[in-house]
Amino acid sequence: MTVHGARAVQRCRTLVEPPFSEDAGQLFRYWLGTSYRHTLAQVQIWMEEAGMAVRQDAVGNLIGRYEGTDPASPVLVIGSHLDTVRNGGAFDGNLGVMLGIELVSALRENDVRLPFPIEVIGFGDEEGSRFPIPMICSRAMTGLIDAVPQGVTDAQGMTVAEAMVSYGLDPARLKDAARRPEDILAFIEPHIEQGPCLEAADKPLGVVTAIAAQTRQRVIVKGQADHAGTTPMLLRRDALAGTAEMILAVEKRGASGSGNQVATVGQMDVTPNTSNVIPGDVWFSLDMRAGSNEIRDRLAEEIRSDIRRIAERRGLEVSFTTPQHLAASACSPEIVSRFAHAIEKVTGEPAPQLLSGAGHDSMAMAGFCPMGMLFIRSPGGLSHHPDETVLVEDVELAHRALLAFVKEFQS
């Protein structure tokens, strides 16, 4: 076994503790925070050691470049994100960046220059952990965001523009992060599967065919706060009791369809949140995903109809906002085919083909340039959790598959 897979794993583990995490005892790294700054400084060192020239763009993405033999050629981009969810795992996003670095390191060790340059990108914000707008940095790169998002703040009340200024970036130059489609050959994202399918099939690697359509909504339920001891049960307009019924309806709808649709309520806030007061207001998150836009949209409309019926029956008011609505993103058929060939070459077995239920920066890149994803087995199917892990031998196979992919990409 060569050093590259093991080193990629070890570097991901290095980035778990302070100063690379905002908190001691749990991993939390968000875009433009103190731990983000430390992480970019360390990853830049690793990129430079691998032989890359390194820069940060106008939104704080970290970009390492390994030149090819043709200076006029468009670039092959490999990467993922460096931010994490709160109390997250070491490998979500980060492993894709480390594998990109190891790919370049292996090429340089063998004195290989491809006809095209390779860029390794660590995107700054995929998770939306600081601001409720995920994929800010990859969407800025593809021109889907050409101005600083307005009207949103982080937990400390800081706006996106203020966070950029505090970090040393100029909000007025956000659009300078945008690239031209003709300058990029393709975007490749190695990533842990974040699910159980590869493990169930006893396969180390898989190739992604598409990323599921998803929509996130914020549901606001308004009732009437009143005294918990003096208000009869039949006269209550209890926003929390109504929300509880709504959540069960969401679960039932998510489980009712065939195929890969899912629906999740993962966040809630109750007002006034006092033991002796009937809850008057509740808001909760609603995450709905499916393999196609049509199935996702039908699921979302059915769930909204269920929620409205419950609200009407209970005398509650309900409203919906949609902070995120992403179309299903198909991977390039050619890249899927090339990855399948590379995986079979290094494993000796046909490559499983998978739908990604999780969102990725690849979604922002899909309409911009050819896009593909390599999945790496997640033991236990666990992700967004401190026990998230990988097998070193799987990561080594992923490294070898990436090498085979890029060497054949030129042909």
Give the Cβ contact number of residue 348 at 10 Å.
7
Distance of CA 60 to the CA centre of its chain: 17
What's residue 1's pLDDT? 45
| Nearest partner of 187 among 75, 68, 352, 112, judged by Cα | 75
Write the single-letter amino acid at 339.
F
Beta bridge partners of 281: 222, 271
In this structure, the chain runs to a length of 411
Q: DSSP strand E in 87-126: where?
A: 118-123
Contact 326, 142 (CB under 8 A): no
% of the chain residues with pLDDT over 70: 99
pLDDT tens digit sequence for 248-284? 999 999 999 766 899 999 999 999 999 999 999 999 9
What's residue 259's pLDDT? 64
Among 63-67, 198-202, 257-261, 286-290, the least confident range: 257-261
345-372 mean pLDDT:
93
| Nearest partner of 39 among 96, 84, 77, judged by Cα | 84
End-to-end CA distance of the chain: 27
Which residues lie closer than 8 Å to 42 by C-beta, 6 or more apart?
A: 14, 15, 20
Cα atoms in the Cβ-side hemisphere of radius 13 Å centred on 166: 12
pLDDT tens digit sequence for 6-42? 999 999 999 999 999 999 989 999 999 999 999 999 9
3-state secondary structure 378-392: CHHHCCCCCCCCCCH
Q: Is the dihedral of CA 91, 344, 329, 139 positive or negative?
A: positive
pLDDT at 352 over 90: yes
pLDDT tens digit sequence for 208-256? 999 989 999 999 999 999 999 999 999 999 999 999 999 999 999 999 9
| Nearest partner of 51 among 106, 12, 127, judged by Cα | 106
Please give the domain boundaries of the chain with CATH numbers for all domains: 3-212+328-409 (3.40.630.10), 213-326 (3.30.70.360)
